[in-house]
Amino acid sequence: MADSPAPSSVQAPSSNVRAAVGGAPTGAAVCVVFLAFVLRLAGLGQQSLWFDEAFSVLLARRGLAEIVADTAKDTMPPLYYWLLHFWGTGPSVDFYPRSISLLAGTLSVALVYLVGRALLDARTGLAGALVAAVSPFHVYFSQETRMYALLGVWVLMAAYGFVLGWQRGRPVGWALYGGGTLLAVYTHALGWLPSAALLLWAGAGSAKHPEKLLPPIAGLGAAFVVYLPWFLVVLGQASKVFSSFWAGAASPLSPVASLYLFFMGPLAGANFFPIALALVLLALGLTVPTALRSSHPNSGQLRLLWAWAAFPPLALMALSLVQPVYLERVLIGAAFPVYLLLGWVITSLPFSKLGAVLGVLILGAGLWGMRNSYTYPALAKPPMREAAALARWAWQAGGPVLHTSDGSLLPFLLYAPELPNLLLEGDPEYALHTARVRSTVDSLGITPVSAAHALNGARRFLLIVSPDHSVAYQEEAAREFDARYQRLSNDVIGGIIVRSYAVR
């Protein structure tokens, strides 16, 4: 992380600077936020719920005390599930539960504008908000029944408070900084990473004035006191995560790949990767000379953004040396400073024409990266809704519906709750008791059963195979059923196999 300047060098833009750059009209900011809302609303209910989303809905339908107890057995804090409980899951599980993320994602774009305006100027805030509005990465998580879009709101709240407190000396800023951090850690176990990045940046520039750190430390200290009851739970959760989390191993290039995902999202495809990555690296690289030139009025602010963007992925990389836990969605809070850095390039680069060209390319790339999510809704998430409809059509009364994966079981409990859905035992992850297994067994209380027990007295039954994990086991299980029972039908939709059998 680059050294931070002395606190006095990071000040609100002077009146001369403000006069030079002008203020973005309120109407323009409102239009950007409205664009963000439309992009996140479009196709909100197109994709089927996948395993994690179904888990969110099933858990949120329980009582508040049950949610606390069940999340303690899992890896996440309870705040998001509480909010989803009060919000309700509605008659349409594809659309209504996701609307929390829709609203949170839209609010995040407004907060990006506020942070950028307070830290640099209104034009940078507006451009950064526009980049966030069309970011496929942020749109994706603004359309998912998970906590990540909400986490982004709290991170931005904390960052806005930090800027108000550090840069403008406003006590309310430290209340927002501590409060945003508290809400973030009650939403995700790693929600503290962006706030820690800001504090470390401040500490690096305050060696001669350590008293400057007292307000932010006090804000975080107050937040920790309120967080302490759950922190004791986190200690137990952490031991489980570091023994059985399922993420793949990170590499030294993982943070670079994260920049691409922040920029293009998870559905852009591999063909565009070299060009898009080169574009974002070029744009971000153009901020470095100014950030390193202490005489420039924006140097301290740019270094703050770089620290905010760099520390969370590097810290996650360090944690992954113990147990792989590197997932880009956890880093959603580190995407916002990237958007603001790109906004600065668009509006404040000394070579204005180059900034304009890069702005067109950046915004165009974002819109391009979203095309697949609107055109092919099953590209990222398996079509469980359609598979459940097919199973309802093929099912005959008296026979169970057997699942080789909880990846199909949990969505089927929402899409086809009237069917006798059962999870088969044998998945090797259950022997390892991974984090995924704890979600299904410990938190939701679902117990796998043997085929003999499930088929006791049945004449016909359905088998659902969803090769989302433990693929070799699931394929072998399907072959064993073919060998032992008479297959009556075989349908495949989006890789999900729906077969009906008769007991010989």
What pLDDT was estimated at residue 13? 45
What pLDDT was estimated at residue 19? 35
Query: Which amino acid belongs to residue 237?
Result: Q
E strand intervals along 424-495: 460-465, 486-493
Structure token digits, residue 54:
């179904």
> CB within 8 A of 426, min separation 6: which ones?
404, 448, 473, 477
Mean pLDDT in the chain?
89
Query: Which amino acid belongs to residue 42?
Result: A
> Are the C-beta atoms of residues 136 and 265 closer than 8 Å to each other?
yes
What pLDDT, in 10s, does the model give residues 330-373? 999 999 999 999 999 999 887 778 888 988 998 888 888 888 77
Q: Which residues of the chain have pLDDT under 50?
A: 1-9, 11-23
What pLDDT was estimated at residue 244? 67
Per-position b or e across 281-301, b if 16+ CB within 10 A of its CB: eebbebbeebbeeeeeebbbb
CA distance 134 to 39: 7
Three-state SS letters, 89-140? CCCCCCCHHHHHHHHHHHHHHHHHHHHHHHHCCHHHHHHHHHHHHCCHHHHH
CA distance 27 to 159: 24
Name the residue among 166, 153, 228 with its Cα closest to residue 198.
166
What pLDDT was estimated at residue 90? 77
Q: How would you list the strands of the sheet with 486-493, edge to edge?
A: 421-423, 401-403, 460-465, 496-502, 486-493
Structure token digits, residue 198:
């800001």
Which phi and psi (to 5°) does residue 390 adopt? -65, -40
> CB within 8 A of 251, min separation 6: which ones?
none
Per-position b or e across 167-201, b if 16+ CB within 10 A of its CB: beeeeebbbbbbbbbbbbbbbbbbbbbbbebbbeb
Task: Indicate the angle between helix axes 332-348 and 148-168, nearest 10 degrees.
Answer: 60
Task: Indicate the angle between helix axes 171-185 and 214-244, nearest 10 degrees.
Answer: 10
Structure token digits, residue 76:
């996440």
What pLDDT was estimated at residue 246? 61
What pLDDT was estimated at residue 243? 66
* Tokens 């299980």 belong to residue: 477
Three-state SS letters, 200-253? HHHHHCCCCCHHHHHHHHHHHHHHHHHHHHHHHHHHHHHHHHHHHCCCCCCCCC
CA distance 62 to 66: 6
Task: Indicate the angle between helix axes 193-204 and 299-320, nearest 10 degrees.
Answer: 130
